[in-house]
Structure formats: structure tokens, C-alpha cells
Amino acid sequence: MSAEIRVLLVDDDALVRSGLRLMLGGAPDIEVVGEAADGSEVLPLVAQCAPDVVLMDIRMPTLDGLAATEQLRARPDAPEVLVLTTFHTDEHVLRALRAGAAGFVLKHTPPPEIVAAVRRVAAGEPVLSPAVTRQLMAQVAGGGARPRAAEAQARLAALADREREVAVAVGRGRSNAEIAAELFMSVPTVKTNVSRILAKLGLNNRVQIALLVHDAEELG
């Protein structure tokens, strides 16, 4: 934990880069080991400079920061990526996190906090600006999927073993004939099972079974 934190700056604006360089230069434990003005330069530069943290802008000419992050994080022992940008649409945030960014900080954040963010990311901690945190919270809170999923699982639990197998197959979009083959029973038997499932769950047709199964499987 005593070595310096090696940082690579990626931003198409030279002014922003020099500003960051200044801001980070003030910290004795941080060293800026390189700069890139476009996402396409990132991969080679990372190989060359071996940074611990990449400070990544999103909006850049040929290859944007999100794509660059995706490429970067796809390879083994990649450095941590701290996205630093002005834009934070849901799209951007989600893609960044999905790509494996360790943090997402807005540019208008006061300098000392940006420095702190770099340190935290280097230490393996996640860092999000409050506005981004709020988005994330809204995202998971809003996605009312969970209660549905839980309830769906509960309802499916009421089925007999064989019935559940059939239900799952229906949920995969299989026809009765396919299910019969898969589960080694006759087509008529599949039908009876489907009927029983419908009755037990109070549904009208196999599509509703499929949707229910699908819900139940959402995030197991």
C-alpha cells in the first residue's frame, strides 16, 4: 500500500488533462504516468505505462470512453477504470458499470474529492458521485421486478415435480411435442400436465405459464 498510484489520463481535451495533471500532481502518493486523447490510444498506452488507475472521459473522437473501458477490462489484470465525465445518462452509467468501471464521477466534483476518488478506486473501493448513486438507487428500486419474481416462485412451488418440469419447458417456448420428447412422455400427457398447471395457477393459456416461469427465473 506504500507505492505510488500510477494514473493514466484519457480525455480529448488537453486543457482538462493539464488541469487533472495539476490537481493530481499535488498529491504525493499519485503519479500521472501517461495521457491519451482518444480511446483508441488507451490499450497500447496501458501496456506501456502499466497504470493502476485509468481516468477515463466518455465523449471522445474515434473510440469513446465506454468502448475503451469495455476493451480494456476485457483483458486480464486490467487497471481500474474511473470514469470522469460531464454526462451521466442511465445509458452511460449502466454501460460503464457493465464494462467493469470501478467508479463514475462527474467533472464538476471538487478537485480534492476527485483525488480522493482516485485513491479509493486504487484501493479497490467503488466510487460514485451522489447523482450517479441516486440514479442507481432509482434503477434498482424502480425495477419492481423483485416482488414479482418472488411471488412467481412461490406460485410455481405449488406444482408437482413433473408439472414444474413441464412448466419450465413451456417457459422456454417449447411445443407440446417437443416437451413430450424432452421429458419422455406422450403428447397427451404433456397436455394434461399443462391443463393441471393452468388450473392450479389460475391461468388461461400456456403463454401465461411461460411469462410466470420467466418472471420466477428473473434473477435467481
Q: Is 204 in the site for a second copy (CB under 8 A)?
A: yes
Alpha helices in 64-129 (DSSP H): 65-74, 90-99, 111-122
Please identify, among the stretches 72-80, 98-106, 113-121, 176-184, the one whose residues bind DNA according to the rule CB under 7 A. 176-184
Q: Is 62 in the site for DNA (CB under 7 A)?
A: no
Q: Which of 3, 205, 219, 220 touches DNA (CB under 7 A)?
A: 205
Q: Which is nearer to a second copy, 140 or 199 (CB)?
A: 140
Q: Is 193 in the site for DNA (CB under 7 A)?
A: yes
Q: Which does 188 bind (CB under 5 to 8 A by kind): a second copy, DNA, none?
A: DNA
CA distances from 151 to 141, 159, 171, 212 (A): 17, 14, 16, 9
Answer whether 46's CB lies under 8 Å from 79's CB: yes
Q: How far is the CB of 118 from DNA (least distance, A)?
A: 51
3-state SS, 11-53, equals CCCHHHHHHHHHHHHCCCCEEEEEEECCHHHHHHHHHHHCCCE
CA distances from 20 to 6, 56, 65, 128, 166 (A): 13, 11, 17, 18, 59
Q: Which does 143 bind (CB under 5 to 8 A by kind): DNA, a second copy, none?
A: a second copy
Q: Which is nearer to a second copy, 26 or 143 (CB)?
A: 143
Could you give the CA distance from residue 215 to residue 197 in angstroms, rounded to a whole number? 16
The residues binding a second copy (CB under 8 A) are 94, 97-98, 100, 120, 125-128, 130, 133-134, 136-137, 139-141, 143-146, 170-171, 173-175, 203-208, 210-211, 214, 218-219
